[in-house]
Amino acid sequence: MPITLLLLLPALALVGGVFLWPLLRYGWLSLQASSVLTGLVPVPNGGANWQRLLADARFWQDAAQTLRFAGLSLALELLLGLAFALLLHRPLPRRGLVRALVLLPWALPTTVMALGWRWILNDPFGPLNGVLRSAGLPAYGFLSEPATTWVFTVLADVWKTTPFVALLLLAGLQAIPAELEEALRLEGAGPWQRLRRLTLPLLAPYLLLAALFRLAQALGVFDLIQVLTGGGPASSTESLALYAYLNAMRFLDFGYAATVMLGMFALLLALSALVLLVQGLRQRLQQARGLS
């Protein structure tokens, strides 16, 4: 075997063990009853787990909630991340320090700041309620209203991950030759036109990468939800990852937990494929328009 392949093997073996083995194992486990009822000994049960998944209202509700969370997070993070990237791209005083400070929320452990947000959103003593109070408004249960609590989980997620998106997009901005922007400026294009005609099209691959990456991470949201709301109130913020975790660690039903995780994986694949498909179609359309 060539030495260059040998050098690759240890790393590939570990990556395979960590990523592939679990998926194979879940495939097998999802066809077993393996719960407290069987003493956690796997017993084949046909497709019972999968039938249960299809009829499990909590799974589908959590799927809808997770999609809702991911959709709003992704949209806000891309918008705000783009704004941050455009800001950081300009000549700034103390640029290194500014970047470090803007980056800080991304670097902190999620659980640490989830705890912080619990206090910020506290009813009635948190600072956000302090703002409401000084405006003469009554205190609001940011984390106790089933209809709106998910919005505040999005807020905490956007706060934490926008710096990451901003940096990815900043890399894209820095790859755009300054002469192109100058040429457009000389043509008399305003800042908004330059953004639309030059910056956004050239940034598209970076936006796509950031969107795919954040979509996958947001669909798997776990740390933030578990610490900030525990999935409540009334399961209104429960994510699929949290549901899978509860099935495994609280209900001790490994067979069904594996099924939930595979269901989640299928959803993730379908959505990623959809994003790539839409992107491909858009490019095709733009090319067609460019040719005509």
Partner 1 sequence: MAKPLPPRGGHTLPLLAALGWSLLPLVWQLLTSLRTPEALVLQGPGAWLQGWTLANYRQVLQGDPPFWRYLLNSTLLGAASTALTLLLAIPAAYGLQRQRAALRGALSLLLLAAAMFPYVLLFLALLELARALGWGNQLLALALPYAGLSLPLAVLLLRAAFADLPPELEDAARLEGLNLWQRLRWVLLPLLTPAIASTAILVFLFSWNEYPIALTWISRSDLLTLPVAMARIAGSSVYAVPYGAFAAATVLGGLPLLGLVLLFQRQIVSGLTQGAVKG
- Beta strands, E only, 27-139: 32-33, 43-44
The minimum distance between CB 219 and partner 1, in angstroms, equals: 6
User: Which residue number, 54 or 107, has a Cβ lying nearer to partner 1?
Assistant: 107
**Would you count residue 201 as binding partner 1 (CB under 8 A)?**
no
Number of other CB atoms surrounding residue 73 within 10 Å = 25
Cβ atoms of 69 and 158 closer than 8 Å: no
Alpha carbons 29 and 16: distance in angstroms, whole number: 18
Residue from the set 1, 4, 188, 270 that interacts with partner 1 by CB under 8 A = 4
Cα–Cα nearest to 53, from 266, 207, 282, 289: 266
Binding map of partner 1 across residues 44-73, x = CB under 8 A, - = no contact: ------------------------------
Q: Which residue(s) pair with 268 in the sheet?
A: none
Residue from the set 107, 137, 273, 285 that interacts with partner 1 by CB under 8 A = 107
**Would you count residue 153 as binding partner 1 (CB under 8 A)?**
no
Alpha carbons 58 and 142: distance in angstroms, whole number: 23
**Would you count residue 199 as binding partner 1 (CB under 8 A)?**
no
Helix (H, G, I), strand (E, B) or coil at 42: coil
Residue from the set 1, 7, 288, 291 that interacts with partner 1 by CB under 8 A = 7
> What's phi and psi for 231, nearest 5 deg?
95, -10
List binders of partner 1 among 246-265 (CB under 8 A): 248-249, 254, 257-258, 261, 264-265
**Would you count residue 93 as binding partner 1 (CB under 8 A)?**
yes
Residue from the set 56, 164, 198, 259 that interacts with partner 1 by CB under 8 A = 164
